[in-house]
Structure formats: structure tokens, C-alpha cells
A and B are shown apart, each in its own frame.
Chain A
């Protein structure tokens, strides 16, 4: 079954990105599940990931700290939900380690997400699919109106930075 159908992707709320890369699946898996590797790529420049903890089991903690170009740190907690080595990794930032719901007070995040990473062999390389599921738009708007902002600056800054760093 197509991943978009299987996971009920709503293009207004959710993201699905597919990439094919000429790198073995085991290496892609390692890059996603080894903290020393995750810090190298996880946060879009000019932000950086300065800390990462991974407890690779369902209910295990996925913790990252992002640092803004101005030097401010933004911790993110998440919880792994499903782990199939070299095939599938599912986590959410709505929970922290041990499946405990996150207390969002004091967190700089605008909405929760569940992320699904799927890996398939593709010739000598790998096809990987990254899916980010978000809550309904109503919920998200409410978050924004309540003053929850993500740590990425204004839309303009984000896009201009994005374009500049390519």
C-alpha cells in the first residue's frame, strides 16, 4: 500500500518527503539512531543540534537540544513509538520518555507531531520516506493564537535563511 494512503496523509497538515540515496540502508538507519551522528545534520543551519540522547526502544526518550544562531538553546523531547531496525522508526514529540505526555508550558514549539521514517532498499542504495503528521488545523491555529511559536523565527527570516544557506 502507498505510504500516503496507509498513513492518511493530509497535504494541508502533513508532510511526506521521499528521497533516494546511494547509501546502504544500514547506514541511513545509523545516521538516524546514533546521537553523535544525529547532531551532525538534524537541525537546519544556521541552527545546530548541540545535544542528543536516544534510548532506542518503544517508550524510549528521543531528546535533542537546538541552538539558535544567537546562542539560545531549545530542548526538544520526544518518545519512540515503534522501532523496526533498518526499516521503520516512529516517534512523537507529544510524549516524552516512558510515554509520559509532554507538559508544553515553557516549551518553544508550536504544535505536536508524529514522525514516521520508512527505509526500503533501492538498488544498491536506499529509498527513505519521512512523514510528519500534525494535529488538525484548528488545533494548530489555537496554538498559534495562544502564543506558541516555533523556534525558527518569522516566516520571512526562515525562508530567507533557508534560501541563503543552500
Chain B
């Protein structure tokens, strides 16, 4: 059953990696083939498909193979589940601190 803590742990483990978050962000605007998803990353294809595997195992994305092309799409359910109060707070703080770090690097360049 997806509705338990172990599953939530896997979802958050999957969300903890920047490559996988970037893939989700891309899939947020529509389905995409593996080659298209992999293009922005300087990473060997086997490593990249491992990331896709992690996302698919916990149900954040699903895939479909047509001929030689595998296409991935986002699945909304697990994201919905991941929205417990404390995880919303964590998401908020993570995002806040990401913005802080970006701002700090800009500031450092200027000074």
C-alpha cells in the first residue's frame, strides 16, 4: 500500500536528489522521452536511467515503451501524499535556503 511511512520515506528519498527534482520539474510541463530528459545532464545514460528508476519505483513517475522510445510522465498521487505538515515545512525551508544560497553567491560576486 502506498499509504504508509516507508513509502513516504522513499518518496522523500527520491525528492532529495537535485537531478531527480529537475526531472520532475521537467515532467511537470508534460511527458518526455528518456533522451530528452537526459539532455540537460552531464551524466552517463546508465546513471541517469537509475535516477528514473528511483522515481518510478516510488510511483512519482510512470513510463511507457513504444518501439525503442521510453516516455516518462509525472504521477500526482505520491506528491499529494508527501504533503504532510512537517514535510510542507521542510519543503518551505529547503526552498528558502536554496534561494538564500543563490542570493549569497550573487552578493559575494558583487562585493
B86 at interface, CB cutoff 8 A = yes
Is B69 engaged at the interface, CB distance under 8 Å to the other chain?
no
Report whether B96 and A158 are in contact in the complex, using a CB–CB cutoff of 8 Å.
no
The closest CB in chain B to the CB of A158 belongs to B88
B92 proximal to A (CB < 8 A): yes
The secondary structure that dominates the B interface is helix
Given contacts A19-B97, A23-B108, A132-B89, contact A155 B25 (CB under 8 A): no
Chain B nearest Cβ from A112, distance in angstroms: 12
- Does residue A8 face the partner (Cβ distance < 8 Å to B)? no
Closest residue of B by beta carbon distance from A140: B85
| Interface residues on chain A, number (Cβ under 8 Å) | 40
B79 in the interface (beta carbon within 8 A): yes
6 smallest A-B Cβ distances: which pairs? A155-B83, A44-B95, A41-B99, A41-B103, A23-B104, A156-B80
Known: A40-B99, A158-B91. 10 other contacts (CB 8 A): A19-B97, A21-B104, A23-B108, A31-B103, A31-B107, A42-B100, A155-B80, A156-B76, A160-B76, A163-B25
Chain B contact residues, CB within 8 Å of chain A: 15, 18, 21-22, 24-25, 28-29, 76, 79-80, 82-86, 88-105, 107-108, 111
